[in-house]
A and B are shown apart, each in its own frame.
Chain A
Amino acid sequence: MDRRQRFGYLVLAVVIGHVIVISAQINAQPGATILESVAFGVFAEVQQLLATTRDGVTGVWSGYISLRGLREQNEGLNSEIAGLRIELQEQRAIAEQARSLERLLGLHETLDLLTQGARIIASDATPYFSTITIDRGSLHGVQPDLAVIVPAGVVGRVVGVPGERAAKVQLLVDRNAAAGALIERTRASGVVIGTDDDRVMRMDYVSNLEDVRVGDRIVTSGTDGIYPKGFLVGDVTAVVEGVGLYRVIDVDPVVDFTKLEEVLVVIDPHALITDAGQR
């Protein structure tokens, strides 16, 4: 066997190896878990170090040299606004839930979110997917399929096996992402999915018979078991009557995914307390 032939067999073996790895993941969900978790964990540490250095350099520049006093004041106000916005959304969700439940069933429901703050340390390694890496992992209670939010609205969910101090988050604008949602005004439900464009999402499975208008707010429905109910997703920017049964709805995400720096992981999505016997 000459050298060229040997190399040909080597290429074939490597290609077959890749195909086996890919097939293993298609057939049985979490493929190459050990490889993934070890490599992700190690790399996340380096990314964390780099992100800290990057943030440190930019922080020194903008915080101490440029606008020292204003920046501190701004940070304080921003965190206060963030807290108030979260509170507002929780209150809005609670009020809406209470209204509809009182109307229909006479049940009481309260939304109690337990969140964990996290910093974004890296983005996706390929340009084809929209994922980010955060600096909180299994040590901080982060598990797969936990919702990730910011004060403005929903960001995405934790995917893959989180490392000890890092986790991967799939953004809602990723083409593989989806969330149960409803139109706030009419309560018509559907599913919001990501597209190829960072600035546009689509809402599917809303009947042609439903009343949907440009400017309608889309909020999470909570039916997917991942995202807490009542959190903002986006606004309707275009509505067209579909060829089949459903409308074609374009949604402008309320979160600016290009400017994310810190997020909140919802550790306990919702503590549901039903008290059917009261009314």
Chain B
Amino acid sequence: MKTSQIILALFIALLTQTTFIGVVTQRMPVDLVLIVVVFAALTNGPSVGLWTGTFSGMLQDILSGGVIGVSGLAKTITGVLVGFIGSQFILGTIGLRLIILVLASIVHALCYLGVYALIEPGMPIVTARMVGLQAILNAVVGVAALAAIRVGPGVRERFRRKRRSLSVTPLDHEWVN
């Protein structure tokens, strides 16, 4: 992933999260920004995971009602960890990426809630069920997005080829011949 692609993906994720998902279904626990951070770190390594996590987490903090820096810290740690794992192992299959997304979501939630537990004792109270649900949702949405990105160009090419073949009429053949 190129830097410009990562930045664009982050902005789209953040805007979708705030203006569509949150407004349509309040408290939908999917974190689109985290999905982008994980994929950026997996494909580009820990250093990209570091700055992607920091930048996106800070932006998310600014736009949310929480303390600025908490999400930034959680996403930085998650991005670096995922980047290291991605640079050590081959994680090309969908199944492995699904597992990484689940684990990354759990690590992110633990960091996020851990920091809050230190600075605001007892807050926020998030159940293990919510963390689990978020991890599963992140994984499913992330893998679906990845599949769409992979399949997208092929479908477009097939559609273009089909349209081209339909537009070639017998008269055109005669004219060519």
Chain A interface residues toward B at CB < 8 A: 7, 10-11, 14-15, 18-19, 21-22, 25-26, 31-32, 35-36, 39-40, 43, 46-47, 50-51, 54, 120-131, 133, 159-160, 168, 170, 174-176, 196, 198, 257-258
B residues in contact with A26, CB < 8 Å: 67, 119
Distance, CA A190 to CA B30, complexed state (A) = 35
Task: State whether A126 touches B76 (Cβ < 8 A).
Answer: no
B residues in contact with A160, CB < 8 Å: 65
The closest CB in chain B to the CB of A129 belongs to: B65
Question: A47-B19, A124-B18 provided; 20 other pairs, C-beta below 8 A?
Answer: A11-B80, A18-B72, A18-B73, A21-B68, A32-B68, A39-B58, A39-B63, A40-B62, A123-B18, A124-B65, A125-B17, A125-B22, A126-B60, A127-B27, A127-B30, A128-B126, A131-B64, A170-B65, A175-B125, A196-B124
* Residues of B126-146 whose CB lies within 8 A of A: 126-127, 130, 134
B residues in contact with A159, CB < 8 Å: 65
Task: State whether A14 touches B76 (Cβ < 8 A).
Answer: yes
The closest CB in chain A to the CB of B15 belongs to: A50
Task: State whether B26 touches A130 (Cβ < 8 A).
Answer: yes
Q: Does B78 count as interface, using CB distance less than 8 angstroms?
A: no
Distance, CA A255 to CA B41, complexed state (A) = 41
Of B46-54, B152-160, B168-176, the segment with at least 4 beta carbons within 8 Å of chain A is B46-54
Task: State whether B73 touches A22 (Cβ < 8 A).
Answer: yes
A residues in contact with B33, CB < 8 Å: 125
Distance, CA A160 to CA B46, complexed state (A) = 33
- Top 9 A-B pairs ranked by shortest CB distance? A123-B22, A131-B65, A21-B69, A125-B63, A129-B65, A18-B73, A122-B18, A22-B69, A127-B29
Distance, CA A32 to CA B62, complexed state (A) = 9
Over the window 60-90 of chain B, the binary record of Cβ atoms lying under 8 Å from chain A Cβ atoms (1 yes, 0 no) is: 1111111111111100110010000000000
Asked if A125 meets B59 with Cβ closer than 8 Å, knowing A22-B73, A131-B64, the reply is yes
Distance, CA A29 to CA B85, complexed state (A) = 38
A residues in contact with B80, CB < 8 Å: 11
Task: State whether A123 touches B50 (Cβ < 8 A).
Answer: no
Distance, CA A50 to CA B15, complexed state (A) = 8
Task: State whether B26 touches A258 (Cβ < 8 A).
Answer: yes
The closest CB in chain A to the CB of B45 belongs to: A7
- Which residue of A18, A121, A170 is within 8 Å of B76 (Cβ)? A18
Q: Does B123 count as interface, using CB distance less than 8 angstroms?
A: yes
B residues in contact with A170, CB < 8 Å: 65
Task: State whether B19 touches A10 (Cβ < 8 A).
Answer: no
Nearest-Cβ distance from residue B54 to partner chain A, whole angstroms: 6
Nearest-Cβ distance from residue A10 to partner chain B, whole angstroms: 7
Distance, CA A176 to CA B119, complexed state (A) = 13
